[in-house]
Amino acid sequence: MTLIIWGLTCALWSTVWVFIKLGVADVPPVTFAAYRLFVALLVLAPITVARRLALPRNPRDWVLIGGTGVLLLGVNYALVYWGMQFVSSGLAAVLQALTPVFGMVFAHVLLAHERITPVKVAALAIGIAGVSIIFADQLRFAGWRSLLGSSAVLAGAMFVACAYVLMKKHVRDLDPSIITAGQMLAALLPLSAFAFIVEGNPLAIQWTTTAAVALLYLAVFGSITGMWLNYWLLKRMDATKVLVMALAEPPVAMMLGAVILDETLSPRMIIGTICILVSVAVVLDVLPAAVTSLPWRARRPALDRDR
Protein backbone atom coordinates (compact mmCIF):
# COMPACT_ATOMS: atom_id res chain seq x y z
CA MET A 1 0.00 0.00 0.00
CA THR A 2 2.80 2.43 0.92
CA LEU A 3 4.58 1.90 -2.39
CA ILE A 4 1.32 2.51 -4.26
CA ILE A 5 0.85 5.84 -2.44
CA TRP A 6 4.49 6.65 -3.16
CA GLY A 7 3.89 6.04 -6.87
CA LEU A 8 0.73 8.15 -6.95
CA THR A 9 2.47 10.98 -5.10
CA CYS A 10 5.39 10.83 -7.50
CA ALA A 11 3.03 11.03 -10.48
CA LEU A 12 1.38 14.08 -8.92
CA TRP A 13 4.67 15.89 -8.30
CA SER A 14 5.73 15.11 -11.87
CA THR A 15 3.09 17.53 -13.17
CA VAL A 16 4.13 20.44 -10.96
CA TRP A 17 7.08 21.74 -12.98
CA VAL A 18 4.97 22.30 -16.09
CA PHE A 19 2.56 24.50 -14.16
CA ILE A 20 5.39 26.44 -12.51
CA LYS A 21 6.79 27.23 -15.96
CA LEU A 22 3.35 28.35 -17.14
CA GLY A 23 2.84 30.54 -14.10
CA VAL A 24 6.20 32.32 -14.01
CA ALA A 25 5.88 33.12 -17.70
CA ASP A 26 3.20 35.71 -16.81
CA VAL A 27 3.72 36.50 -13.11
CA PRO A 28 6.98 37.42 -11.29
CA PRO A 29 8.32 34.15 -9.82
CA VAL A 30 8.58 34.92 -6.10
CA THR A 31 5.23 36.70 -6.15
CA PHE A 32 3.71 33.67 -7.87
CA ALA A 33 5.16 31.41 -5.17
CA ALA A 34 3.71 33.62 -2.42
CA TYR A 35 0.28 33.60 -4.04
CA ARG A 36 0.51 29.81 -4.26
CA LEU A 37 0.94 29.57 -0.49
CA PHE A 38 -1.80 32.12 0.14
CA VAL A 39 -4.38 30.28 -1.99
CA ALA A 40 -3.37 26.92 -0.50
CA LEU A 41 -3.88 28.28 3.01
CA LEU A 42 -7.31 29.67 2.06
CA VAL A 43 -8.32 26.14 1.11
CA LEU A 44 -6.50 24.13 3.79
CA ALA A 45 -7.08 26.26 6.92
CA PRO A 46 -10.91 25.87 7.02
CA ILE A 47 -10.59 22.13 6.39
CA THR A 48 -8.08 21.77 9.24
CA VAL A 49 -10.25 23.77 11.63
CA ALA A 50 -13.38 21.81 10.69
CA ARG A 51 -11.59 18.53 11.45
CA ARG A 52 -10.71 19.79 14.97
CA LEU A 53 -7.24 18.35 14.82
CA ALA A 54 -5.06 18.49 17.93
CA LEU A 55 -2.47 21.27 17.84
CA PRO A 56 1.13 20.67 18.95
CA ARG A 57 1.61 21.06 22.70
CA ASN A 58 5.38 21.01 22.71
CA PRO A 59 6.91 24.43 21.86
CA ARG A 60 9.72 22.57 20.09
CA ASP A 61 7.20 21.23 17.56
CA TRP A 62 6.06 24.77 16.74
CA VAL A 63 9.66 25.88 16.26
CA LEU A 64 10.39 22.87 14.05
CA ILE A 65 7.27 23.32 11.92
CA GLY A 66 7.94 27.04 11.54
CA GLY A 67 11.64 26.64 10.79
CA THR A 68 11.20 23.86 8.25
CA GLY A 69 8.28 25.75 6.72
CA VAL A 70 10.51 28.76 6.07
CA LEU A 71 13.20 26.51 4.56
CA LEU A 72 10.88 24.31 2.52
CA LEU A 73 8.24 26.76 1.34
CA GLY A 74 9.92 30.11 1.81
CA VAL A 75 13.61 29.91 0.97
CA ASN A 76 13.22 26.93 -1.37
CA TYR A 77 10.30 28.42 -3.30
CA ALA A 78 12.08 31.76 -3.69
CA LEU A 79 15.29 30.11 -4.91
CA VAL A 80 13.66 27.64 -7.30
CA TYR A 81 11.10 30.02 -8.78
CA TRP A 82 13.76 32.67 -9.29
CA GLY A 83 16.38 30.25 -10.63
CA MET A 84 14.08 28.64 -13.19
CA GLN A 85 13.96 31.92 -15.10
CA PHE A 86 17.57 31.38 -16.17
CA VAL A 87 17.96 27.61 -16.57
CA SER A 88 16.34 25.11 -18.89
CA SER A 89 13.76 22.65 -17.59
CA GLY A 90 16.20 19.82 -18.23
CA LEU A 91 19.02 21.39 -16.22
CA ALA A 92 16.59 22.19 -13.40
CA ALA A 93 15.47 18.53 -13.39
CA VAL A 94 19.06 17.29 -13.09
CA LEU A 95 19.81 19.71 -10.26
CA GLN A 96 16.61 18.76 -8.44
CA ALA A 97 17.55 15.11 -8.88
CA LEU A 98 20.35 15.74 -6.38
CA THR A 99 17.76 16.18 -3.60
CA PRO A 100 17.95 12.53 -2.44
CA VAL A 101 21.76 12.78 -2.39
CA PHE A 102 21.55 15.69 0.04
CA GLY A 103 18.87 13.75 1.91
CA MET A 104 21.10 10.70 2.21
CA VAL A 105 23.91 12.81 3.68
CA PHE A 106 21.65 14.64 6.16
CA ALA A 107 19.96 11.37 7.16
CA HIS A 108 23.34 9.73 7.76
CA VAL A 109 24.25 12.54 10.16
CA LEU A 110 20.89 13.00 11.90
CA LEU A 111 19.09 9.64 11.74
CA ALA A 112 20.64 6.60 13.38
CA HIS A 113 18.78 4.07 11.21
CA GLU A 114 19.55 5.66 7.82
CA ARG A 115 23.17 5.18 6.83
CA ILE A 116 25.17 5.92 3.70
CA THR A 117 26.04 2.64 1.99
CA PRO A 118 27.94 1.88 -1.22
CA VAL A 119 24.75 0.43 -2.71
CA LYS A 120 22.79 3.65 -2.06
CA VAL A 121 25.60 5.81 -3.46
CA ALA A 122 25.85 3.70 -6.60
CA ALA A 123 22.07 3.60 -7.04
CA LEU A 124 21.70 7.38 -6.74
CA ALA A 125 24.63 7.92 -9.10
CA ILE A 126 22.93 5.72 -11.71
CA GLY A 127 19.68 7.62 -11.24
CA ILE A 128 21.31 11.03 -11.66
CA ALA A 129 23.10 9.73 -14.75
CA GLY A 130 19.72 8.60 -16.07
CA VAL A 131 18.21 12.08 -15.60
CA SER A 132 21.26 13.59 -17.32
CA ILE A 133 20.86 11.20 -20.26
CA ILE A 134 17.19 12.12 -20.68
CA PHE A 135 17.94 15.84 -20.74
CA ALA A 136 21.33 15.66 -22.45
CA ASP A 137 20.20 18.08 -25.18
CA GLN A 138 19.12 20.68 -22.61
CA LEU A 139 22.16 20.73 -20.33
CA ARG A 140 23.47 24.12 -21.36
CA PHE A 141 24.58 27.32 -19.67
CA ALA A 142 23.82 30.76 -21.09
CA GLY A 143 26.26 32.92 -19.20
CA TRP A 144 26.55 33.96 -15.58
CA ARG A 145 22.78 34.15 -15.12
CA SER A 146 22.53 30.42 -15.79
CA LEU A 147 25.23 29.82 -13.20
CA LEU A 148 23.35 31.86 -10.62
CA GLY A 149 20.05 30.19 -11.54
CA SER A 150 21.60 26.73 -11.27
CA SER A 151 23.09 27.59 -7.88
CA ALA A 152 19.68 28.76 -6.68
CA VAL A 153 17.90 25.57 -7.81
CA LEU A 154 20.64 23.41 -6.27
CA ALA A 155 20.44 25.30 -2.97
CA GLY A 156 16.67 24.79 -3.01
CA ALA A 157 17.20 21.04 -3.35
CA MET A 158 19.53 21.08 -0.36
CA PHE A 159 17.05 22.97 1.82
CA VAL A 160 14.24 20.56 0.87
CA ALA A 161 16.35 17.59 1.90
CA CYS A 162 17.34 19.24 5.18
CA ALA A 163 13.73 20.09 6.05
CA TYR A 164 12.42 16.59 5.39
CA VAL A 165 15.16 14.89 7.39
CA LEU A 166 14.54 17.25 10.33
CA MET A 167 10.81 16.46 10.19
CA LYS A 168 11.57 12.74 10.05
CA LYS A 169 13.77 13.00 13.13
CA HIS A 170 11.59 15.12 15.40
CA VAL A 171 7.90 15.05 14.39
CA ARG A 172 6.07 11.73 14.49
CA ASP A 173 2.60 12.12 15.98
CA LEU A 174 1.27 15.23 14.26
CA ASP A 175 -1.35 15.06 11.53
CA PRO A 176 0.02 15.94 8.05
CA SER A 177 -2.61 18.68 7.73
CA ILE A 178 -1.32 20.44 10.85
CA ILE A 179 2.27 20.21 9.59
CA THR A 180 1.39 21.43 6.11
CA ALA A 181 -0.78 24.33 7.29
CA GLY A 182 1.75 25.39 9.92
CA GLN A 183 4.62 25.37 7.44
CA MET A 184 2.62 27.39 4.91
CA LEU A 185 1.69 29.96 7.52
CA ALA A 186 5.29 30.29 8.69
CA ALA A 187 6.62 30.73 5.15
CA LEU A 188 3.94 33.05 3.78
CA LEU A 189 4.98 36.29 5.53
CA PRO A 190 8.74 36.20 4.78
CA LEU A 191 8.13 35.01 1.22
CA SER A 192 5.57 37.77 0.63
CA ALA A 193 7.92 40.39 2.09
CA PHE A 194 10.75 39.20 -0.13
CA ALA A 195 8.45 39.27 -3.17
CA PHE A 196 7.41 42.84 -2.36
CA ILE A 197 11.04 43.97 -2.01
CA VAL A 198 12.40 42.39 -5.20
CA GLU A 199 9.32 42.41 -7.46
CA GLY A 200 7.06 45.23 -6.26
CA ASN A 201 3.47 45.36 -5.09
CA PRO A 202 1.89 41.88 -5.51
CA LEU A 203 -1.58 43.47 -5.67
CA ALA A 204 -0.63 45.23 -8.90
CA ILE A 205 -0.09 41.97 -10.80
CA GLN A 206 -2.12 41.51 -13.99
CA TRP A 207 -3.21 37.90 -13.97
CA THR A 208 -3.73 35.90 -17.16
CA THR A 209 -6.08 32.93 -17.35
CA THR A 210 -3.12 30.58 -17.81
CA ALA A 211 -1.33 31.89 -14.72
CA ALA A 212 -4.52 31.72 -12.63
CA VAL A 213 -5.20 28.10 -13.63
CA ALA A 214 -1.57 27.18 -12.94
CA LEU A 215 -1.78 28.86 -9.53
CA LEU A 216 -4.95 27.00 -8.55
CA TYR A 217 -3.53 23.65 -9.67
CA LEU A 218 -0.27 24.18 -7.77
CA ALA A 219 -2.06 25.34 -4.61
CA VAL A 220 -4.51 22.44 -4.46
CA PHE A 221 -2.55 19.54 -5.95
CA GLY A 222 1.02 20.59 -5.22
CA SER A 223 1.01 22.49 -1.94
CA ILE A 224 -1.93 20.74 -0.25
CA THR A 225 -2.35 17.25 -1.70
CA GLY A 226 1.28 16.62 -2.59
CA MET A 227 2.72 17.80 0.72
CA TRP A 228 0.05 15.99 2.75
CA LEU A 229 0.94 12.75 0.99
CA ASN A 230 4.66 13.39 1.47
CA TYR A 231 4.25 13.70 5.23
CA TRP A 232 1.98 10.67 5.32
CA LEU A 233 4.77 8.73 3.60
CA LEU A 234 7.49 10.24 5.79
CA LYS A 235 5.91 8.58 8.84
CA ARG A 236 6.15 5.20 7.13
CA MET A 237 9.33 5.36 5.02
CA ASP A 238 12.95 6.48 5.30
CA ALA A 239 13.54 10.12 4.39
CA THR A 240 15.82 9.12 1.49
CA LYS A 241 13.08 6.88 0.06
CA VAL A 242 10.61 9.75 0.09
CA LEU A 243 13.10 12.18 -1.43
CA VAL A 244 14.08 9.79 -4.23
CA MET A 245 10.87 10.95 -5.94
CA ALA A 246 13.03 13.74 -7.34
CA LEU A 247 14.73 11.09 -9.48
CA ALA A 248 11.54 9.39 -10.57
CA GLU A 249 9.62 12.53 -11.52
CA PRO A 250 11.33 13.29 -14.89
CA PRO A 251 10.56 9.92 -16.54
CA VAL A 252 7.02 9.94 -15.14
CA ALA A 253 6.48 13.41 -16.60
CA MET A 254 7.96 12.23 -19.88
CA MET A 255 5.66 9.20 -20.01
CA LEU A 256 2.64 11.36 -19.23
CA GLY A 257 3.63 13.56 -22.15
CA ALA A 258 3.84 10.54 -24.43
CA VAL A 259 0.40 9.28 -23.38
CA ILE A 260 -1.46 12.58 -23.12
CA LEU A 261 0.33 14.81 -25.64
CA ASP A 262 1.47 12.10 -28.06
CA GLU A 263 5.10 13.11 -27.61
CA THR A 264 7.82 10.85 -28.99
CA LEU A 265 10.06 8.81 -26.70
CA SER A 266 13.60 8.74 -28.09
CA PRO A 267 16.02 5.85 -27.43
CA ARG A 268 18.05 8.21 -25.22
CA MET A 269 15.01 8.88 -23.05
CA ILE A 270 14.27 5.17 -22.74
CA ILE A 271 17.87 4.40 -21.68
CA GLY A 272 17.76 7.19 -19.10
CA THR A 273 14.43 5.95 -17.78
CA ILE A 274 15.79 2.43 -17.35
CA CYS A 275 18.71 3.83 -15.30
CA ILE A 276 16.31 5.80 -13.11
CA LEU A 277 13.96 2.84 -12.59
CA VAL A 278 16.87 0.65 -11.48
CA SER A 279 18.09 3.39 -9.13
CA VAL A 280 14.67 3.95 -7.56
CA ALA A 281 14.00 0.23 -7.24
CA VAL A 282 17.26 -0.27 -5.34
CA VAL A 283 16.69 2.69 -3.00
CA LEU A 284 13.11 1.56 -2.29
CA ASP A 285 14.31 -2.02 -1.68
CA VAL A 286 12.01 -3.23 -4.45
CA LEU A 287 14.71 -4.80 -6.60
CA PRO A 288 16.28 -6.94 -3.84
CA ALA A 289 12.82 -8.10 -2.78
CA ALA A 290 11.97 -9.06 -6.35
CA VAL A 291 15.21 -11.00 -6.77
CA THR A 292 14.92 -12.89 -3.49
CA SER A 293 11.32 -13.86 -4.29
CA LEU A 294 12.15 -15.52 -7.60
CA PRO A 295 11.05 -19.18 -7.77
CA TRP A 296 14.57 -20.51 -8.19
CA ARG A 297 15.57 -18.85 -4.92
CA ALA A 298 12.78 -20.64 -3.10
CA ARG A 299 13.61 -24.02 -4.63
CA ARG A 300 17.34 -23.91 -4.09
CA PRO A 301 17.37 -25.37 -0.55
CA ALA A 302 15.40 -28.37 -1.77
CA LEU A 303 17.93 -28.98 -4.54
CA ASP A 304 20.75 -28.75 -2.03
CA ARG A 305 19.04 -31.34 0.15
CA ASP A 306 18.66 -33.67 -2.80
CA ARG A 307 22.41 -33.70 -3.22
pLDDT of residue 68: 92
pLDDT of residue 141: 59
Residue 289 lies in a domain: no
pLDDT of residue 306: 41
Alpha carbon distances (Å) from 191 to 15, 79, 96, 228: 23, 11, 21, 21
Residue 258 lies in a domain: yes
Residue 228 lies in a domain: yes
Residue 292 lies in a domain: no
Most confident residue range from 49-63, 74-88, 245-259:
49-63
Residue 257 lies in a domain: yes
- Number of structural domains the chain divides into: 1
pLDDT tens, 167-219?
A: 998 877 788 889 999 999 999 988 899 889 988 888 888 899 999 999 999 99
Residue 95 lies in a domain: yes
Three-class SS of residue 301? Answer: helix
pLDDT tens, 290-307?
A: 544 545 444 444 444 344
Specify whether the CB–CB gap between 112 and 238 falls below 8 A: no
Residue 298 lies in a domain: no
pLDDT of residue 214: 92
Specify whether the CB–CB gap between 7 and 51 falls below 8 A: no
Domain limits for position 198: 2-284
- Please state, in angstroms and rounded to a whole number, the distance separating the CA atoms of residues 94 and 150: 10
Closest CA to 113 of 165, 159, 173: 165
Residue 69 lies in a domain: yes
Mean pLDDT, residues 67-81 taken together: 86
**Averaged confidence pLDDT in the chain:** 83
Mean pLDDT, residues 240-269 taken together: 74
